[in-house]
Amino acid sequence: MAATPEADWVSRFADEVIAEAERRAPGKPIVCASGLSPSGPIHLGNLREVMTPHLVADEIRRRGHEVVHIISWDDYDRYRKVPAGIDPSWAEHIGKPLTSVPAPPGSAYPNWAEHYKAAMIESLAQLGVAYRGISQTQMYTSGAYREQILLAMRERAKIDAVLDRYRTKGRTASGAPQQGKLDEEEAAAAQEAAEGSGAASEDDGTGAAGYYPYKPYCSVCERDLTTVVAYDDDTTELTYTCQCGHGETVRLSEHDRGKLVWKVDWPMRWAYEGVVFEPSGVDHSSPGSSFQVGGQLVGEIFGGQQPIGPMYAFVGISGMAKMSSSRGGVPTPGDALQIMEPPLLRWLYARRRPNQAFKIAFDQEIQRLYDEWDTLGRKVVEGTANAADAAAYSRAVGTAAGPLPTTPHPLPYRTLASIVDITTGDPQQTLRILRDLDPADPVASLDETRPRLDRAQHWITTQVPADQRTRVLTEPDTTLLAKLDDTERESLRLLLAGLDDHWSLEGLTTLVYGVPKQRLGLPMDVKPTPELKVAQREFFALLYHLLVGRDTGPRLPTLLLAVGPAQARTLLTP
C-alpha cells in the first residue's frame, strides 16, 4: 500500500524546505545540516540533531530533489574537560583543538576527535544516514574560511553591536529564561548537551583590548588561552598574547591556526554552505542564544540567510543499567543499536515531532515497544495503519537509497528475550525452542532470527539485573511437591497429560489456560469468570514455583518450551 507521507511532520518540513530553497537558490542542491561535537562519547540524546535533518533530507530525496545532509564535525573546538574514566593527566590538553588532543589510551585513532567520531560514524552507517561529513579542523586549517574570517574581523564593531543587543537582553531577563518549563531531568540533559556543544560558556570574543571575533590557537602551547591585543585591517597583522607567556604577531591573511568564536562561526557556516534546514536543541534557542544572534549576523555580516531551524526537545533514556556508568553513564547510539535494530531506533525519531520529548527504553519497556512495532508492521501489510503511522513506518524501514536490513524471521522480542534468558544463550537449546514455537512456520536456523535474536540476547545480558534473570530449577522441589493438595495434583496431572499434544507456543497457551477450566468442569471456550481467573492465577503461581522457584517469570508457554518436556515432567510430577 502507498503511505501518504503528507500526513506527518517530516513531510510538512520537506514542503517548507523545498519551497524556501527554491526561493533562495533555485536549481541548487538543497542543504540540510547538523553539527556534532566529538568532545567525548556522542550521546544518544544528540542523535536527534542528526535524525531530524536526516528524515527531512531523505523525504526531499524521495521526491526526486537533489539534497545534501551536511554533518559538521566541530572537531576544531577546544578540549573543555577531561571526562570521567580518562586519566586526569589529559587536563594538560585543555584548550587545544579536539584534533590536537591524543586519543584515549588503546585507541586505534590518531586523536581525541577521530576516536569519538568513529563510533558515531559506525552508528550512522547502521542507521542508513547518508551525509557529507565536514571536519571543521580541515576547513579552518586549510584556509577555506579565509575571506569570511577577514570579513568578520573587518566588521567586528558591527558584530559587537549585534551581540551587545542580546547581551543587554540577557541581563534584563530573569536568571534562567526558558528553564521554567523543563523538568529536572530535562534541565540536566540540557546542561549535558550544552557542555558538549560549541555554545558552552564560550566567550563571545570580548576582551580587554576590544572585541575580536577570531581566536588564535597559540603556536607554542597549541591552546586557546590567547588574547588578541591588536589588529590592523590594512595589513591583517594580528597580535596576540598567550597565558603560557608566548606572544607574537601573525598575518591573518596567511594564518590558519584559529577559529571564529561560536556565535559568529555558526552563522558564517550557514552562509558558506547555504544551509536551508538546521534544527537545534533548546540550549541554542533561548533568548540571546546562538541561533537567535546568528540569525542577525548571517544577514548583516555574511550576506546569507538563517536556516529553517525548529527547536527539538530532548530525548531521555529509561532504565539504562548501571553497567554503563563506568563510562559516564550516558548511552550512545551504539549502545542503543546493541539492543534494538536500526529500523526500530529510526522509528522512535520518525514518529514524534521534533518538539515532542520522548524516552528510549533500555528497561522492560523495550519489549512493549517491540510489540507495538510488530503490530504496526502487520497493520501496514494489511493496509489498516493510519497515514501518519504508515509514513513513520516507511521512514523507519528504509531510506531513499532502499530498505535497511531486516530480520528474515522476526519473532516477538519478548519471546526471544525470555528464551535467551532461560538458555543463557546456548545456541543448540535456543534453536530447539525456536523450532518448537510454531510448527506451522518453523525456524530452520538461528541466522534467520538474527539480528533481532542478538539484540534481545544483548539486552538480557547487559540490561536485566541478575536478580531478575530466570533460573530453571535443576532438581524438583520435593518439599513443595510433597505438600500439594488434591486440586494441585490434579492440575499438574492434566497439564502433563496434555504436553505432547500441545507442544507449540500456541498449543501450550491453550493448555495452561485450559487446565483450570478442565478441572472446574468448564468448557474450553468459556468466558473467564472471577472464579476461573483466581484458579488460573493460583495454577500459574504453582508452576512458577515448581519451575523457577519464584512467583513469576517469563510467559509460561515460552518457559515450558524452554524447559523442555523431559525436564518439565521431572519438575512437575508429584
Where does this chain bind Zn ion (CB under 5 A)? Answer: 218, 220-221, 242, 244, 246
CA angle 268, 274, 280 (to 5 degrees): 70
Cell of 352: 514524534
The nearer residue to Zn ion, 80 or 327, going by C-beta atoms, is: 80
The nearer residue to Zn ion, 102 or 247, going by C-beta atoms, is: 247
Positive or negative torsion for Cα 178, 182, 188, 192: negative
Residue 88 beta carbon to Zn ion: minimum distance, rounded to whole angstroms? 21
Residue 218 beta carbon to Zn ion: minimum distance, rounded to whole angstroms? 3
What Å distances lie between residue 493 and 356, 497, 539, CA to CA?
A: 53, 6, 12
Residue 229 beta carbon to Zn ion: minimum distance, rounded to whole angstroms? 14
The nearer residue to Zn ion, 227 or 424, going by C-beta atoms, is: 227
**How would you classify residue 438: left for phi > 0, otherwise alpha for psi between -120 and 50, otherwise beta?**
beta
Neighbours of 230 (CB within 10 A): 12
The nearer residue to Zn ion, 245 or 402, going by C-beta atoms, is: 245
Residue 242 beta carbon to Zn ion: minimum distance, rounded to whole angstroms? 3
The nearer residue to Zn ion, 61 or 223, going by C-beta atoms, is: 223
CA angle 417, 393, 387 (to 5 degrees): 135
Asked if 399 contacts 128 with a C-beta cutoff of 8 angstroms, the reply is yes
Residue 244 beta carbon to Zn ion: minimum distance, rounded to whole angstroms? 3
The nearer residue to Zn ion, 79 or 370, going by C-beta atoms, is: 79
Residue 217 beta carbon to Zn ion: minimum distance, rounded to whole angstroms? 8
Q: Give strand pairing partners of 359.
A: 316
- Residue entry with cell 590536537: 100
- Residue in the shown chain whose Cβ atom is closest to Zn ion: 218
The alpha carbon of 413 is separated from its chain's Cα centroid by a whole number of angstroms, namely 19
Residue 258 beta carbon to Zn ion: minimum distance, rounded to whole angstroms? 12
Cell of 25: 537558490
d(CA 363, CA 336): 11
- For 194-221, give the DSSP string: HHTSTTTT---SEETTEE-SEEEPPTTT
The alpha carbon of 168 is separated from its chain's Cα centroid by a whole number of angstroms, namely 37
Which of 480, 464, 490 has its CA nearest to residue 545? 480
The nearer residue to Zn ion, 130 or 244, going by C-beta atoms, is: 244
The nearer residue to Zn ion, 240 or 539, going by C-beta atoms, is: 240
Residue 92 beta carbon to Zn ion: minimum distance, rounded to whole angstroms? 12
